[in-house]
């Protein structure tokens, strides 16, 4: 995982939850325990949630399927559910797989707050798909949101996204690691001091540091 800065222990947590069910689903069957199906990552924008999910998929030799919340919501009437189903079918066919749903709050907002029928149907579809995942499916869903409180509670019940991990803003050491990653291929002038940059960029998340390196 050396291309994700400052998230060492977070990565280990996700990996622990995801790798076992992906690689050894028969273990859970033998124990008579349902493997975890869903992990919800939450934290501020640009902290590397997508990057983290990709890295875990890579490391576990799993296929990676990305669903972008706002994008799928923008589909024509009735198309969104179909697209969602399609991705899950593809992922099951190509298992072991990780389905990553970015900005899940836009797909599955609290149903009380939603007026449109289309939105309600999409939440229901997602719940059905999660519930329909077989215990030996080698498929884990990772979802990300900046606003966990805005996600429909039904999604956070056992058997769905019942594991939650906070992806936080990096500290100085994390920032130093991220700066290292994003300047790796760059010829740097002698006056560039990454330690100093890490010290003086309090509050910067990974996306900010990547942008800084580009500048």
Contact positions toward ligand ATP, by CB under 6 A? 4-7, 45-51, 102, 144, 146, 178, 181, 206-207, 210
Residue with tokens 């509670």: 153
Measured CA to CA, the distance from residue 45 to residue 201 in angstroms comes to 16
Helix, strand or coil for residue 63? Answer: strand
Task: Please check whether residue 39 is in contact with residue 18, taking contact to mean a CB–CB distance below 8 angstroms.
Answer: yes
Measured CA to CA, the distance from residue 43 to residue 10 in angstroms comes to 12
Structure-token pair, residue 100: 């990553």
Cβ 20 to ligand ATP, closest distance in Å? 24
Cβ 44 to ligand ATP, closest distance in Å? 7
Q: Which is nearer to ligand ATP, 49 or 138 (CB)?
A: 49
Cβ 110 to ligand ATP, closest distance in Å? 19
Cβ 69 to ligand ATP, closest distance in Å? 10
Cβ 92 to ligand ATP, closest distance in Å? 24
Q: Which is nearer to ligand ATP, 135 or 188 (CB)?
A: 188
H-type helices in 113-164, by residue range? 117-132
Q: Which is nearer to ligand ATP, 1 or 28 (CB)?
A: 1
CA nearest neighbour of 165 among 55, 3, 4, 7: 7
Q: Which is nearer to ligand ATP, 45 or 159 (CB)?
A: 45
CA nearest neighbour of 107 among 52, 40, 164: 40
Q: Which is nearer to ligand ATP, 70 or 132 (CB)?
A: 70
């Amino acid at each position: 995982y050396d291309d994700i800065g400052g998230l060492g222990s977070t990565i280990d947590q996700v990996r622990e939850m995801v790798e076992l069910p992906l690689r050894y689903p028969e273990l859970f069957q033998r124990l008579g325990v349902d493997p975890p199906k869903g992990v919800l990552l939450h934290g501020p924008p640009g902290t590397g949630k997508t990057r983290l999910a990709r890295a875990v998929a890579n490391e576990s030799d799993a296929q990676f399927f990305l669903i972008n919340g706002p994008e799928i919501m923008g589909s024509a009437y009735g198309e969104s559910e179909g697209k969602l189903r399609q991705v899950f079918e593809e992922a099951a066919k190509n298992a072991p797989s990780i389905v990553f749903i970015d900005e899940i709050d836009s797909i599955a907002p609290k149903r009380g707050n939603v007026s449109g029928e289309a939105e309600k149907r999409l939440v229901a579809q997602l719940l059905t798909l999660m519930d329909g995942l077989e215990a030996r499916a080698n498929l884990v869903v990772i979802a990300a949101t900046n606003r966990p409180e805005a996600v429909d509670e039904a999604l956070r019940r056992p058997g769905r996204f019942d594991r939650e991990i906070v992806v936080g803003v990096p500290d100085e050491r994390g920032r130093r690691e991220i700066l290292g990653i994003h300047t790796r291929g760059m010829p740097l002038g002698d006056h560039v001091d990454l330690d100093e940059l890490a010290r003086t960029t309090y509050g910067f998340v990974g996306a900010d540091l990547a942008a800084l390196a580009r500048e």
